[in-house]
Chain A
Amino acid sequence: AQSVTQPDIHITVSEGASLELRCNYSYGATPYLFWYVQSPGQGLQLLLKYFSGDTLVQGIKGFEAEFKRSQSSFNLRKPSVHWSDAAEYFCAVGALYGGSQGNLIFGKGTKLSVKP
């Protein structure tokens, strides 16, 4: 079955430090991959997506992610974190087969806290 794993439940970084949030997926074919961000009390906002082409994709708010097929990973990065980046981040993969075909499968999320 297709699945998404975000190994880190909660990460704390200092403002100005670099950030990397991990995402691993299990899938046989070239996946459709997404990162979403959820600010407290809000819905989810799309940060970036990948489904073909350049494996390094740029998103909004200064985020980027790199698709690595050999590692089945799609890690999210930001060179310098701002206090406003404190939120929960969700990785998702598009299901291309099975009962969920056409739907997104979400990881359980990583909560990011930012220290001043």
Chain B
Amino acid sequence: DVKVTQSSRYLVKRTGEKVFLECVQDMDHENMFWYRQDPGLGLRLIYFSYDVKMKEKGDIPEGYSVSREKKERFSLILESASTNQTSMYLCASSSPSGLNYGYTFGSGTRLTVV
């Protein structure tokens, strides 16, 4: 069964900490995505990547960065965590024909910044 795995289901971090959220997929997908999900706001795209070492800003990139050193791994980095970054973070991947097959999502990481 193909999978997108997010390393942590729950994280609690302190304000100002540097936070790494990891996502690994085993489907050899070129495209990977990071979303945050908040009640009433739906899914908002933070960053995405079409290939190794490539990244594109999504709708809300401020306060975040990403790293994609290997095809299967896409990391989201909160340079200095703030309380307004408390949220559910979802990683997804797709093949280049993602519009035909849709995205495969991980189970999410619920991050709380205190």
Q: Which residues of A contact B (CB under 8 A)?
A: 9, 32, 34, 36, 41-46, 49, 51, 90, 92, 94, 96, 100, 102-104, 106-109
Contact = CB atoms under 8 A, between A and B. Distances in A.
B102 A46 contact: yes
Given A43-B4, A43-B90, A44-B90, A104 B98 contact: yes
Given A32-B99, A43-B4, A106 B108 contact: no
B31 A102 contact: yes
B33 interface: yes
A45 B107 CA distance: 10
B48 interface: yes
Contact of A108 (B41, B92, B110): B41
B102 A104 contact: yes
A46 B101 CA distance: 9
Interface residues of B, number: 26
Nearest to B59: A100
Contact of A90 (B31, B42, B45, B107): B42
B107 A34 contact: no
Interface centre among A32, A42, A43, A102 (most CB of B within 10 A): A43
Contacts of A100: 45
Contacts of B106: 43
A106 B105 contact: no
A41 B100 CA distance: 27
Q: What 5 A-B pairs have minimum CB-CB distances, sorted nearest first?
A: A108-B42, A43-B105, A94-B99, A44-B105, A32-B99
Contact of B100 (A32, A92, A107): A32
B99 A41 contact: no
Contacts of A104: 98-99, 102-103
A103 B45 contact: yes
Contacts of A96: 99
B102 A43 contact: no
A90 B105 CA distance: 13
Nearest to B88: A41
Interface string B29-51: 00101000000111101001010
